[in-house]
Amino acid sequence: MKPIKTALLSVLVIGSNMAFAADTMPNKAALDALAAKVVKESFRDEGIVKTSVLDTDQTNRECSDAEVMGKPLKPARAKAIEKMNLKTIQWPKDGKFLGDWQKGEALAQSGRGLTWTDKADTPNGGNCYNCHQIDKKEISYGSIGPSLYNYGKVRGVTDPTSPEAKAIVEYTWGKIWNSRAYNACSHMPRAGHAKILTPEQISDIMALLLDPKSPVNQ
């Protein structure tokens, strides 16, 4: 009987320890706050890069949690997040969506302007080539996102200022400004929302994608 009593006593001790641990275990919010504190204390302001880049919002937190758990957001919650992000989009104040495609091409091919070694007046690049094919002449490009070659042409945009093109033009601007307005947990950077690109820079990339004269649409 002694082995059985010993085993039973061990189970009781382990059980009481687990109950104690559960009672004293910090809740998720406390653990998240602790993790954020540890991460921030591991970084410092350096050059143009400040620790504020580590700040996150509700959308990022929920999408990160879903990815960690390996479970997609529930459809209703995903729609709510998209609706919330759609409200953050800032449309062109002058109503002009397209700028200079040549400037847009340079921005799309540049990844500079976001590292601590860059000067404050270094224009931020769009890094578009890291995820997308932009031009058929390119020999190296990312494939995480779809090809942007012939972006406007395949969508039938022959005149970006026409009423017929309005929906495509507005969607493209919104997608660049805040991709999560259209896909709750999109991995595409929220270029406008996160202040990676200015409205003027976004208009130039818009021209690259939609201007019939742009090499993208040749």
Percent of the chain with pLDDT over 70: 88
- Of the candidates 34, 82, 35, the one whose C-alpha atom is nearest the C-alpha of residue 62 is 82
Reported as a single tens digit per residue, the pLDDT across 190-208 is 999 999 999 999 999 999 9
Read off the pLDDT band of 54 (50, 70, 90). Answer: confident
Reported as a single tens digit per residue, the pLDDT across 75-122 is 999 999 999 999 999 999 999 999 999 999 999 999 898 889 999 888
Reported as a single tens digit per residue, the pLDDT across 109-163 is 998 988 899 998 888 999 999 999 999 888 889 999 999 999 999 999 999 999 9
End-to-end CA distance of the chain: 87
According to DSSP, the residues that pair with 49 across neighbouring strands are 46
Rounded CA gap, 208 and 203, in Å? 9
Task: Kindly report whether the global pTM for this prediction surpasses the value 0.95.
Answer: no
Rounded CA gap, 189 and 138, in Å? 22
Provide the pLDDT for residue 165.
Answer: 97
Look at the chain and count its residues.
Answer: 218
